[in-house]
Amino acid sequence: MTHIDIYLDASGLDCPLPLLKAKQALNRMAAGQVLEVLATDVGSWRDFEVFAKQSGHTLLLSEEQDASYRYLFRKK
């Protein structure tokens, strides 16, 4: 199991707010720390995949469960 350093609940927020909040959280974190994000915006699935590729942060997990999306990022 991965240790979560920061938890961000972006449920109920529409695009682009989940991604914006995640970026802000990652900016405040130290390298190697893990951010968990919960979102309900279906567009977050694509947004977070693209963000991980462009930013260099590692997307450790992306899963959908009961109309919610959970992501784990390791900061580069």
- As a whole number, the mean pLDDT across the chain is 96
- Model confidence pLDDT, tens digit, residues 18-36: 999 999 999 999 999 999 9
Catalytic residue among 6, 11, 13, 15: 15
Go through the domains of the chain in sequence order and give each one's CATH number: 4-73 (3.30.110.40)
pLDDT at 1 over 90: no
Burial group, residue 33, by CB count within 10 angstroms (0-12, 13-18, 19+): middle
- 17 with 10: CB under 8 angstroms? yes
Identify the pLDDT of residue 33.
98
- Model confidence pLDDT, tens digit, residues 50-68: 999 999 999 999 999 999 9
Predicted TM-score (pTM) of the model is 0.95
Query: Residue 13 catalytic?
Result: no
